[in-house]
A and B are shown apart, each in its own frame.
Chain A
Amino acid sequence: MSAKRTHWHGYLFVAPATVYLVVFSLVPMAVAAYLSLHHWPLLGKERWFVGLANYAQALGDPFFRGAFWNTVVFAALAVPLGLVSSLAVAVLVNQRLRGVTVFRTLYYVPAVSSGVAVSMVWIWIFLPHDGLINTVLKWLGGAGDVDFLGDPSLALPALVLMSLWMGLGPRMVIFLAGLQGIPHSLYESAEIDGAGPWQRFRHITLPMLVPTTFFVLVTSTISAFQLFTQVYVMTKGGPRRATDVVVYHIYKEAWHKFAIGSASAQSYILLAVIVAISVLQFRLMRRRLREAAEQW
């Protein structure tokens, strides 16, 4: 009887979150799936079933494919670099040093800052001639006239750099939690066996962090594919569509062309790609995850 009561209360606790999930995620997803199969202007009254035509149109649209390619390039740069940089910082702030909590806080500050405000600050940092980066380049003897956001070959890497800084804190906190969960006795045993710092990192830290790394990898990949705020505020998809990423492309399809049906289809294509990549990541990591579980 008491066990039943405990369960009853448990359901009561999860009910608001379940309702939220149903109302604001599952129902809109179902509606979007329906819309994606229709010619559906935002306001027009003429709406009709088009089957998969919106999907075919999106896949045949060179601008949509271009936006997808930009997104893939962004993710291919931002995800691995983000993993490495945040793991490195997590290892650094995991040391027993005076004032280390200050560093942890500082690294986490970008995560609690407004994306729009941070984007405005980075516009200044990337300024040609007088921006922070160009000023440093001038000190180092360079010309200091790099047009980061105006040069089509540099605009996307510039957004990657900014995203690394923005995502550093959350990823670092997760890695830090993973690092602090590794039993200290393993390091002590390794030290007694004569293992150096690199060997301890390579053969203890990295294997023990596999589940954490996998979590960060999957969530970072999903975030990278959903890049929007920085593009909306800083580049508007330019210069020359060099930063036109999928979510921004979908936004323009919906709010500049008012084509809700094709915008929904593009959203579902993005969803399919994200799911496919996540499944692939699961499969590739399954063996390592099993090994990590056995080690635990």
Chain B
Amino acid sequence: MRRAAWIIVMLVLAVTVALAVWAHRAGRGGEGGTIVLRVANWGGPGVDPSLMRIEREIREAFERRHGNVRVQVENIPGAGQYVPKLLMMYVAGNPPDVIMLDASSAAVFIDNDLLVDLAPLIAADASFRLDAYFPNVVDIARRGEALYAIPGDFTPMVMMYNKRLFREAGVPLPRPGWTRQEFLEAARALTVHEPGRPVPTRYGFKFENWMPGWLPWIWAAGGDVLSPDGRHAVGYLDSPQTIETIRFLVDLVRQHRVAPSLSETAAAGVDLFRDGRAAMTLTGHWSLVEYRVDQMDVGVAGIPGDGRHVTVMYEAGAAISRASPHRDLAWDYITYRSSAAVQAKMLATGVAISAHREVARSFAGTEVEDAFLAEVPYARRPWGAAVERYELVEDLGREMIEDILSGGVDVEAAARRTAALVEAELGRP
């Protein structure tokens, strides 16, 4: 009887495995000789429906150009889930052919040799011109002579402000090259305290404990969180410029009360800036989609600094998996997706700036777009494009701000402790 049980279990196991292998092969091959080109993206239900519709039209147009090709878009929704799930596809030996590469996590894929060097494909394709794209955006995915992604769209981080609130408060609009002191004075004037209310009903600035939101402030002060080679934090994350910048930012909350506390921001449930309860916010081009829906009158300024003009940019590029059996087709898809005509169609949604210079300029002519384009030459790639385990630096950075704001830890002590922790983590094999 025991033998019979084993035979049954083994038979079911064998059938399960056979079905899985068959399903895997069917998925790769398509029906009737059709080639399936798998494209991973971070879309999903949260994405603007008009962008999803345009994506579908672009995909269908590509399929019409290639009679026997089906583009299978594999959306991986959920903030923080894209990289883990994509990496699991690689570990399982079943990666997509094309992946949309987020600049903030590009190093994970580039430094682990998961992507094809596109430089030879660019050299062999006379119809493709890399110089059509913003050079600093292209360089996000560059390692020496090798290039691992063709940029699609991007955004520099900027200071966005609510013009109506500035007008009502009689505060002059930010001027190009404004200083921290000017920013602080504006934030103070825009903060509204009402009698009987324990907290301001409107804040001058929406501070978030989100490292991409405070990194450009540090850069604008001449500091940084890591050494230029990305291997050390001691001497950088705890440098005088960095400490002084962190102190300036946390004092916006605890001393000047022109920014909400961490819990007020995190738990508000709504975007305080969009809700009219904060007059300024540090954000990217993507926010404009919602602000335009609300018909908000917003302006764009650079990060306040004292003589240094710099910001960070976030970008989405297209890359080819090294394991892809359809390398040429994938290249064709990437160049098609990055072409001026397709980019113009996609970026009409206003979600970002096209990395294609000609397309980006075609949207110029409005005050907001011109202000964004003015920031492009000063935009640096994020650390996540260069350092594989940068996410843990962001985790520890977030905890540092919590230590200071919720735990009352001294800024300098918190910065030194965090620098030592980051240094130890980066030094781990």
A contact set with B: CB distance below 8 Å:
4, 7-8, 11-12, 15-16, 18-19, 22-23, 39, 41-44, 46, 123-124, 126-129, 131, 143, 145, 147, 149-152, 236, 238-241, 252, 255-259
Known contacts A240-B399, A240-B402, A240-B406; decide if A149 and B267 are in contact (CB<8 Å).
yes
Given A43-B91, A240-B406, 8 more contacts at CB 8 Å? A11-B4, A22-B13, A41-B429, A42-B87, A128-B267, A150-B266, A150-B267, A241-B399
- Count chain B CB atoms within 10 A of each CB in A15, A22, A42, A123 and give the residue with the most: A15
Which residues from B are CB-within-8-Å of A44?
A: 112
CB pair A150–B13 under 8 Å, yes or no, is no
Q: Which residues of B in the span 242-291 have a Cβ within 8 Å of any Cβ on A?
A: 261-264, 266-269
B contact set with A: CB distance below 8 Å:
1, 4-5, 8-9, 11-13, 16, 83-84, 87, 90-91, 108, 112, 114, 198-199, 261-264, 266-269, 388-389, 391-392, 395, 398-399, 402-403, 406-407, 425, 428-429
Which residues from A are CB-within-8-Å of B407?
A: 152, 239-240
CB pair A150–B392 under 8 Å, yes or no, is no
Q: Which residue from A18, A150, A252 sits with its C-beta under 8 Å from B263?
A: A150
A-B contact pairs, 23 of them (CB 8 A): A8-B8, A16-B12, A22-B13, A39-B429, A42-B91, A43-B87, A123-B269, A127-B269, A128-B267, A129-B198, A129-B264, A147-B263, A150-B262, A238-B398, A238-B402, A239-B262, A239-B263, A239-B402, A239-B406, A252-B392, A252-B395, A257-B392, A258-B388
Known contacts A39-B429, A42-B91; decide if A19 and B406 are in contact (CB<8 Å).
no
Which residues from B are CB-within-8-Å of A240?
A: 399, 402-403, 406-407
Known contacts A147-B263, A239-B262, A257-B425; decide if A19 and B16 are in contact (CB<8 Å).
yes
CB pair A11–B5 under 8 Å, yes or no, is yes
Which residues from A are CB-within-8-Å of B425?
A: 257
Which chain B residue lies CB-closest to A232? B80
- Count chain A CB atoms within 10 A of each CB in B8, B87, B199 and give the residue with the most: B8
Which residues from B are CB-within-8-Å of A238?
A: 398-399, 402, 406
Distance in angstroms between the alpha carbons of A256 and B105 in the assembled complex: 11
CB pair A43–B114 under 8 Å, yes or no, is yes
- Count chain B CB atoms within 10 A of each CB in A22, A256, A259 and give the residue with the most: A256
- Count chain A CB atoms within 10 A of each CB in B1, B12, B391 and give the residue with the most: B12
Majority secondary structure, A binding face:
loop
Distance in angstroms between the alpha carbons of A8 and B4 in the assembled complex: 7
Which residues from A are CB-within-8-Å of B199?
A: 129
CB pair A151–B406 under 8 Å, yes or no, is yes
The 9 lowest CB-CB distance pairs between A and B, nearest first, are: A150-B263, A43-B112, A15-B12, A11-B5, A239-B406, A255-B84, A256-B391, A256-B392, A147-B263
Which residues from B are CB-within-8-Å of A236?
A: 398
Which residues from B are CB-within-8-Å of A145?
A: 198
Which chain A residue lies CB-closest to B16? A19
Nearest CB of B to A194, in Å: 55
Distance in angstroms between the alpha carbons of A240 and B401 in the assembled complex: 9
CB pair A257–B389 under 8 Å, yes or no, is yes
CB pair A126–B399 under 8 Å, yes or no, is no
Known contacts A127-B269, A256-B395, A257-B389; decide if A18 and B9 are in contact (CB<8 Å).
yes
Distance in angstroms between the alpha carbons of A128 and B16 in the assembled complex: 52
Distance in angstroms between the alpha carbons of A4 and B5 in the assembled complex: 11
Which residues from A are CB-within-8-Å of B4?
A: 7-8, 11
Distance in angstroms between the alpha carbons of A111 and B51 in the assembled complex: 35
CB pair B8–A15 under 8 Å, yes or no, is yes
CB pair B9–A15 under 8 Å, yes or no, is yes
Known contacts A123-B269, A257-B425; decide if A11 and B8 are in contact (CB<8 Å).
yes
Which residues from A are CB-within-8-Å of B388?
A: 258
Distance in angstroms between the alpha carbons of A46 and B16 in the assembled complex: 33
